[in-house]
Amino acid sequence: MVEEFDSPLAPLTTMRVGGPAHRLVTATTIDELVDAVRETDDAGEPLLVIGGGSNLVIADEGFAGTVVRVATSGVTRESQDSCGGAYVRVAAGEVWDDFVARAVAEGWSGVEALSGIPGSAGATPVQNVGAYGQEVAQTIASVRTWDREAQAVRTFAASECGFSYRHSLFKASSRYVVLDVAFQLVVGDLSAPIGYADLATGLGVAQGERVPLGEAREAVLEQRRRRGMVLDAADHDTWSCGSFFTNPMLSVAAFGRLEERVRERLGADAAPPRFPGDGDALKSSAAWLIDKAGFTKGFGAAGEAGLSGRASLSTKHTLAITNRGEATAYDIRALARVVRDGVREAFGVTLVNEPVFVGHDL
């Protein structure tokens, strides 16, 4: 376990903004992770647990407490057979895309569409990470956590995790610190059915078809690269938290009001994207709403709307807010507010930020 003081946090996040931590502890084993969290709680200090930092916007003032960085590692195949599949336990600090690459190489199907997503394995159940027709809730068997209130290890079966669109029990509360995640994966050479239209087109297959795992992974990575969603230090479009806003989930009545606003603004034949959502809800596209509200790719870079120009929408994808090299957390927040408020004014829909704001809010 390594302990540092007044340590900068910006380099530990993919957005690359934020001030220092009063105290930074790096835990490389589960015992170190539990000890660091328990010690901080016993001292009554503020606690922030971070993994890959891909979903955080930390305030410029930093964090006046203890930051525990999860740097545990390990992928263990606990069982595998042709009927039950592969039961694989992944340490919370394991780099997520490294695990996906391992799964593809081993012939474990079910997470290949989640290739290229930055961050750590332990963060995936918190956000119920998803992309290109897959989400981790479909393959998670259990999540082992440290219960900060009970001061004990607690394991949650998938059915107990409260998974929904980009949400879970673990996101709703800071009570539980993820220690490791167990996945139940299909053994085979073919991907899960391709559930995303653009991905199917890129692969030259119909939706619902399966392709070799390696081909599915490469196709996903290509889709993500075109959108600036694969980390590259030389490409400021990737200095982001990925998708900044979640796709809005609307009741049938609220979706009807959205359709009316869209026709009023864009013409009688215009219609917002419409997809099945959770339960009776309908889901639309945050990227589409942002674009049609007037916030096109690269918005903000020229200093529109009184912005600094140090942050902008990605030049490749309207759903990502990016650090153009010298942005502050204030710059990121200011741009996010302009976009959120502009979409609400145009269409009556309030977008919800996907990344977590630490020490400030949107």
**What CA–CA distance (Å, rounded) separates 202 from 185?**
24
- What is the average per-residue pLDDT within 123-135? 95
Residues taking part in catalysis:
166, 243, 354
- What is the average per-residue pLDDT within 29-47? 98
Handedness of CA 300, 301, 307, 311 (dihedral sign): positive
pLDDT score of 277: 87
Residue 336 has pLDDT above 80, yes or no: yes
* 236-358 CATH: 3.90.78.10
**Whole-structure pTM value:** 0.92
- What is the average per-residue pLDDT within 102-108? 98
**What CA–CA distance (Å, rounded) separates 35 from 33?**
5
Tens digit of each residue's pLDDT (9 = 90 or more) over 254-293: 999 999 999 999 999 999 999 998 888 999 999 999 999 9
pLDDT score of 313: 98
Most distant CA pair in the chain: distance in Å?
62
pLDDT score of 137: 98
Read off the pLDDT band of 111 (50, 70, 90): very high
User: Are the CB atoms for 104 and 213 separated by under 8 Å?
Assistant: yes
pLDDT score of 73: 97
**236-358 shares the fold of 2-70:** no
CATH 3.90.220.20 fits 75-226, yes or no: no
Listed by start position, the domains of the chain span 2-70, 75-226, 236-358
E strand segments, 82-175: 85-91, 108-109, 130-131, 134-135, 140-147, 152-157
CATH number for the 2-70 domain, one of 1.10.1040.10, 3.90.1150.10, 3.30.365.10, 3.30.43.10? 3.30.43.10
